[in-house]
Structure 1
Amino acid sequence: MRLQFILSEIGIGLRRNLSMAVSVILVTFVSLTFVGAAGLLQLQIDAMKDDWYDRVEVTIYLCPEESDAATCAAGETTEEQTTALWDELNSEALDPYVAEAFYESQEDAFAAFQERFADEWWAQGLTADQMQASFRVSLVDPAQYQVVADMFTGRQGVEDVRDPRAVVEPLILVMNRLSLVAAGIAGVMLLAAVLLITTTIRLSAMSRRRETGIMRLVGASNLFIQLPFMLEGAIAATIGAALSVAGLWFGVHYLVEDWLAQSIQFIPYVGTDEVWLLAPALVGIAILLATISSVVTLSRYTKV
């Protein structure tokens, strides 16, 4: 009987304040979509960092015949210098930092270049003599690239030491800032959702002050009186969360997996599995919003 009464009260409240309930659903949907997008963007950043950092190689470019670098004043790197650099790369001092190192001659560099750019018209006139010999160094911990870079920068026979992180990290920084912007917008929208849910519950409680007064006179507890109002807000917020999860799923499935992943294939993308991973958190946030709004509102507006 009590359950049937509570359900009937929820139905009455939703019908009386249908437009406000729809507003709660929509604002919760929009706000949690931003929250989910920020979470997916952060997961995307983490996936890219893990994938790209695993591929990080420090490249030690040796001096070509003509170079303006001060370390190449004596001309092209000699065999003795190359051997000394190789021995140092394989020394015990660098063993904790270097996972693997190999020498790429001009011929090897030219073969790799031709394999990658064989169909490009501008690559047809290049020869092996125009390529640059180098050492390719894979690291045990990509975060320690500076140790290897510092050891070989400025050495005679070494023109330059480069690390792809110089290109990757600015992109990661931009994406992190976009994630913060999305999180900021989500925070504003969540505040709007709390205020709107609070208003909806307040209007519903005020419109039924007579009923709540009668219930209090017959000995109903505070929880029994307040529960229908709390559930109204929770139901509306949960529907908004469900719509948010559905919107994120369709967006990731069709825009990321079916389109973006087919167009740009060298980046590891988040998928619908990550959406389902975030779904419980989004529903939990929706219920938390309704709970906070109920606690703030009901203690005042259900008093008679």
Structure 2
Amino acid sequence: MRVKYVLNEVLVGLWRNVTMSIAMIITMSVSLFALGASVLMYMQVDQMKDFYYGEIQVSIFLREDVTEAQRNAINQAIDTNPLVKDKTYETRAEAFKRFQVMWQDSPDFINSVGPDSLPESFRVKLKDPEQYKAFADQIQGQQGIQDIVDQRELLNKVFDIFNTIQLGSLIGAVFMAGAALLLVGNTIQVAAYSKRREVAVMKLVGASNWFIQAPFVLEAVVAGLIGSIFAFIALFLIKVVLLDGRLQALTNVLTPIPDGNVWLMLPLLAAAGAGVSAITGWITLRFYLRV
């Protein structure tokens, strides 16, 4: 009987303050969407770091006037270096062909570069990318080397941008969560005020605080759960329609988002929405019932 009463009061409360309930659900949806997007971004950037850092190469560009003897000496120094895992040699023609593929959408830029404009190079993969400095110090003294470039330096700049985006999305999620908390608390106060006489009567007849608070808290929890479902649907649609559809070309740069990570957001957002709503509702009513 008590359970039936509580559930009935939840439905009545949601319908009585339907506009406030809709506003609370929408705010929760937006804030949980921002939270889910930021969590997915964190997971994706970590996955990208694992992937790209594992593929890091050190590029050893040779001088234009490098001799065959110098080239062979550099090649032997790389082969005998214990820090080296693998290496490939790239001629000028191969470098130019790769350049044409990379910039195939910019024909004017390709035409401005000649076949002899790009240097030949050795592409070296180290057993431990963190040992770049030690490797560079050992190879730098070889004659015929123009420059040694560590791809990790370029990747660090790219990931600094992603980390900034991560932080921005997290800050946005925190602000939206704050707005959702205020709206949840305000909605519960309005609902409790509209039923202030019933609450007063229940307190007079000895009803426990838990019994009085339960309908209001569950009302907030239901709104949080509905908001989490909408937020998950939005994330899933963006992943399927955009990232797996129109923006699929981005997977050449960004590693694809696993479906499992997206589905993981459903219980995470549901727990966050229900938990935050329940705690906010309980704290709000604790202060209200003490008046």
Which is further off, 265-274 or 12-21? Answer: 265-274
Matched with 2:286 is 299
Distance 1:59 1:130 in 2: 16
Counterpart of 2:76 (choices 80, 87, 91) is 87
Aligned residue identity for 2:84 = V
Distance 1:229 1:133 in 2: 72
Deviation at 1:235, TM superposition (A): 0.5
Deviation at 1:48, TM superposition (A): 2.5
Deviation at 1:21, TM superposition (A): 1.1
Pair 251,117 (structure 1): closer, same or farther in 2 beyond 3 Å? closer
Deviation at 1:125, TM superposition (A): 8.8
Distance 1:181 1:266 in 2: 21
Counterpart of 2:89 (choices 71, 93, 103) is 103
Which is further off, 171-180 or 82-91? Answer: 82-91
**Superimposed CA distance per residue, residues 146-185 of structure 1 (whole angstroms, 9 cap, x where no aligned partner):** 3323332354221110122333222211121011111101
Pair 188,106 (structure 1): closer, same or farther in 2 beyond 3 Å? closer
Distance 1:182 1:115 in 2: 34
Distance 1:170 1:158 in 2: 25
SS at match of 1:135: strand
Pair 102,196 (structure 1): closer, same or farther in 2 beyond 3 Å? same
Counterpart of 1:189 (choices 170, 176, 179) is 176
Q: Is the 8 A contact 1:43 1:270 kept in 2?
A: no
Matched with 1:56 is 56
SS at match of 2:247: helix
Q: Is the 8 A contact 1:118 1:124 kept in 2?
A: no
Deviation at 1:52, TM superposition (A): 2.1
Distance 2:151 2:199 in 1: 67
Distance 1:98 1:142 in 2: 10
TM-score of the superposed pair, with normalisation by structure 2: 0.87
Distance 1:161 1:247 in 2: 45
Aligned residue identity for 2:71 = T
Q: Is the 8 A contact 1:105 1:133 kept in 2?
A: yes
- Residues 1:229 and 2:197 are matched in the alignment: no
- Residues 1:276 and 2:267 are matched in the alignment: no
Matched with 1:217 is 204
Matched with 2:46 is 46
Structure 1 residues not aligned, in runs of 5+ = 66-75
SS at match of 2:252: coil
Deviation at 1:86, TM superposition (A): 2.8
Matched with 1:142 is 129
Which is further off, 3-12 or 256-265? Answer: 256-265
Pair 158,228 (structure 1): closer, same or farther in 2 beyond 3 Å? same
Matched with 1:68 is none
Which is further off, 147-156 or 229-238? Answer: 147-156
Pair 117,254 (structure 1): closer, same or farther in 2 beyond 3 Å? closer
Counterpart of 1:160 (choices 139, 147, 150) is 147
Structure 2 residues not aligned, in runs of 5+ = none
Matched with 1:71 is none
**Superimposed CA distance per residue, residues 95-127 of structure 1 (whole angstroms, 9 cap, x where no aligned partner):** 2x3211233345654665677789968469945
Aligned residue identity for 2:278 = T
Quote the RMSD (CA, aligned, Å). 2.7
Q: Is the 8 A contact 1:77 1:158 kept in 2?
A: no
Distance 2:21 2:85 in 1: 59
Matched with 2:163 is 176
Deviation at 1:262, TM superposition (A): 4.0
Matched with 1:249 is 236
Which is further off, 267-276 or 286-295? Answer: 267-276
Q: Is the 8 A contact 2:74 2:142 kept in 1?
A: no
SS at match of 1:136: strand
Matched with 2:272 is 285
Pair 61,220 (structure 1): closer, same or farther in 2 beyond 3 Å? same
Q: Is the 8 A contact 2:213 2:282 kept in 1?
A: no
Q: Is the 8 A contact 2:95 2:119 kept in 1?
A: yes
Distance 1:144 1:25 in 2: 52
